[in-house]
Amino acid sequence: MDSSKTEWDLADPVGARNLARAALDPGVWAYLERRADGGQVDRNLAAWAAMDLRPRILRGVGEVDTSVTVLGRRLEAPILTAPNGRATRYHPDGERAVMTGAQNAGVGVVIGSSAGHALKALSASASPTLLWSQVYLATEEAQVARFVERAVEAGCHAIVATVDLVPGRPSAQGLPALHRPEWEPELAADGAAPLYAAAGIADLERLVRRSPLPVVVKGVLRGDDARICVEAGAAGLIVSNHGDAQLAGAIPSVRALPAVVDAVGGKVEVYVDGGIRDGASVVRALALGARAVLVGRPVTYGLAVAGAAGVETVIQSLRADLKRAMALCGAARLSDIGADLIG
């Protein structure tokens, strides 16, 4: 394959998706693209596109600065890679490639729980400016304790407690043997997958007390839930509907974002994921009060096609598109992006 053409295609969201589909096993592709309703329509993507921008003109934007601090750590752009299952499904280098690509692009990384056993080795091979480790919030305290210990030993900067998963959807059952669901290593003694929906606010409080690292809660879609997470000690919230892959009909992340931002009243940073494909959507997210965005499937597309280089290309392309969108909106820096830009 022509490497220059591949890089060009990866810089385009549609081109990257097409390349990834051609590169992946059909079963793995179906798992990556699954939706809760069994279809292929990305409701998150559609919701971002439906939100108009009202750009400003004549603001003298000569240069654009996309840098930001996230929980006190400076990134070159308000972008983090979202945890997206066991990354070795998509490329042999897996999480190592994601971390290297993100490090080279100057953005943050959220490593999925499936890589928890290898976190220390991964962090020794690549050192992103921001490295968060995901854990599915469970009622089994010993299990959570292991995740916390691994994250601390690996030098992670925060723990992401994902709270919106009930594993075992039929769409995961057709995966090839080498691509088992990420929760399989944590099966209970009776062979059943853990029911993370059984976790309650007391489990989050317990995690916060145990962890010496800040705890960010992922999967928040309501203002009342946002408030109780903050009261429980959460240092940040990720507005997310799990890539529209869990509950059919769940509100798209962008539509839930304003209520969550309003509910926390600036007490903690708020982030958002789901359907981020271009710079205009990043501008929308920040205009609605998000501190940064998480990007999942597009990063995986890049990973599947070209490993670390593909991840870096996808992220740098998104950052370049963000710069263009900011300039067109009259925003020289992220602090210039406000609610007035939403039409």
The residues carrying an active-site annotation are 242
Task: Of 107, 100, 105, 101, give the one whose Cα is nearest residue 68.
Answer: 107
Question: Phi and psi at residue 164, in whole multiples of 5°?
Answer: -120, 40
| Listed residue (90, 114, 89) closest to 184, CA to CA | 114
What DSSP designation does 53 have? B
Measured over all CA atoms, what is the biggest interatomic distance in the chain, rounded to whole angstroms?
65
Q: Phi first, then psi: give them for residue 64, nearest 5 degrees.
A: -120, 130
Q: Tell me the H-state helices in 219-332.
A: 223-231, 253-264, 279-287, 297-328
Distance, in Å, from the CA atom of 317 to the CA atom of 339, rounded to the nearest integer, reads 25
* 249 close to 37: Cβ distance less than 8 angstroms: yes
Q: How far is CA 84 from CA 19, 87, 115, 197, 286, in A?
A: 18, 7, 11, 19, 23
Q: For 251-275, give one letter per residue: b (16+ CB within 10 A) or e.
A: bbbbbbbbbbbebbeeebbbbbbbb
Q: Which residue has the tokens 């723990």?
A: 159
CA atoms of 292 and 68, how far apart (whole Å): 8
**CA-to-CA distance for 241 and 239, rounded, in angstroms?**
7
